[in-house]
Amino acid sequence: MRVTTKGQVTIPQNIREKLGIFPYSEVDFVEEEGKVYLIKKPSTKKSGKFKRLRGIATVKMTTDEIMALTRDIE
């Protein structure tokens, strides 16, 4: 693994999946006895009931059509 000129490295996909590291996850580096460890910080956000559903809607409706449904407007 190579460090870029900006000090960046790519965390391998299997490690990201194993640790549950997703885009915008917070991580930290801990140094102990000359070794450096990557740890995932606990999430500070409250996990809502619908978090796992975010971004998977497949309805092909306009915003106006959705608003009409929610307001029972014909």
Give the model confidence (pLDDT) of 11-49 as tens digits. 999 999 998 888 888 999 999 999 999 998 887 666 666
Residue 57 or 16, more confident: 16
Structure confidence at residue 20 (pLDDT): 87
Give me 66's structure tokens: 């959705």
Give me 3's structure tokens: 């460090």
How is the chain split into domains, by residue range? 13-71
32, 27, 29, 58: which is closest to 43 by C-alpha? 27
Q: What is the rounded CA–CA span in Å between residue 27 and residue 41?
A: 5
Structure confidence at residue 45 (pLDDT): 64
Structure confidence at residue 48 (pLDDT): 65
The pTM assigned to this predicted structure is 0.50
